[in-house]
Structure 1
Amino acid sequence: MSSSLDQLKAMTVVVADTGDFNSIEKYKPTDATTNPSLLLQAAKMPQYQDLVKSIVSDSASVEEAFDKLFVEFGSKILDIVPGRVSTEVDARLSYDVDAQVTKAKKLIGMYEKRGISRDRILIKLSSTYEGIAACKILEAEGIHCNMTLIFSIAQAVLCGEASATLISPFVGRILDWFVANTDKKSYEGHEDPGVVRVTQIYNYYKKHGYKTEVMGASFRNVGEIMALAGCDLLTINPKLLEPLSSSTDPVTRFLSPEKALEAESPKLSYDEAQFREAIKNDKMADEKLHGGVDTFSADAVKLEEQLKSMFEELKK
Structure 2
Amino acid sequence: MKFFADTAQVEDIKELNDYGLLDGVTTNPSLVAKAGGDFLTTIQSICQIVSGPVSAEVAATDFEGMMREAAVLSAIAPNVVIKVPLTLPGLQACRALRAKQIDVNVTLCFSANQALLAAKAGATFVSPFIGRLDDINLDGMQLIHDIRLIFDNYDFDTQILAASIRQPNHVSDAALAGADAVTIPPNVIRALANHPLTQKGLETFLKDWADSGQTI
Could you tell me which of 227, 245, 249 is aligned with 2:193? 245
Partner of 1:153: 112
Q: TM-score, normalization: structure 2?
A: 0.83
Matched with 1:26 is 15
Matches within 5 A, 1:112-191: 116-117=77-78, 120-178=79-137
Deviation at 1:248, TM superposition (A): 8.8
Shift of 1:207: 2.6
Rounded to whole Å, the distance in 1 between the matches of 2:89 and 2:195 is 42
**1:180-210, CA deviations, whole angstroms, 9 ceiling, x for partnerless residues?**
xxxxxxxxxxxxx100001211221123110
Which SS does the other structure have where 2:82 is aligned? strand
| Cα separation, 2, equivalents of 1:85 and 1:105 | 15
After TM superposition, list the pairs within 5 Å mapping 1:188-227 onto structure 2.
Answer: 193-227=139-173
TM-score, normalisation: structure 1: 0.58
Aligned match for 1:108, one of 53, 68, 74: 74
CA distance in 1, matches of 2:34, 2:155: 38
Contact 1:217 1:234 in 2 (8 A): yes
* Aligned counterpart in structure 2 of residue 88 of structure 1, from 57, 62, 65: 57
- Please state if 1:72 is matched with 2:18: no
Cα shift at 1:106: 2.3
Aligned to 2:35: 42
CA RMSD in angstroms comes to 1.7
Aligned-partner Cα distance in 2 for 1:32–1:40: 16
Per the alignment, do residues 176 and 82 of structure 1 end up closer, same or farther by CA in structure 2, a change over 3 Å counting?
Answer: same
Q: Shift of residue 247 of structure 1?
A: 3.7
The C-alpha deviation readout for 1:48-85, integer Å capped at 9, x for no partner, is xxxx3xxxxxxxxxxxxxxxx33321221122212111
In structure 1, C-alpha distance between the alignment counterparts of 2:181 and 2:88, rounded to whole Å: 24
**Matched residues in 2 for 1:103 and 1:78: separation?**
17
Give deviations 1:248-293, integer Å, cap 9, x for gaps.
Answer: 99xxxxxxxxxxxxxxxxxxxxxxxxxxxxxxxxxxxxxxxxxxxx
Question: Going by fraction, where is strand more abundant, 1 or 2?
Answer: 2
Q: Which runs of 5+ in 1 are unaligned?
A: 1-11, 44-51, 53-68, 180-192, 250-316
Which runs of 4 or more aligned residues in structure 1 lie more than 4 Å from their structure 2 counterparts after TM superposition?
Answer: none
Amino acid at match of 1:144: D
Q: Deviations over 1:66-120 (max 9, x none)?
A: xxx3332122112221211100100xx22x11211121112223x1xxxx32xx1
Identity %: 32
Aligned residues: 191
- SS of the aligned residue for 1:19 comes to coil
Report if the CA contact (8 A) 1:24-1:80 is conserved: yes
Q: Is the 8 A contact 1:150 1:169 kept in 2?
A: yes
Are the counterparts in 2 of residues 169 and 216 from structure 1 also a CA contact under 8 Å? Answer: yes
- The aligned amino acid for 2:191 is P
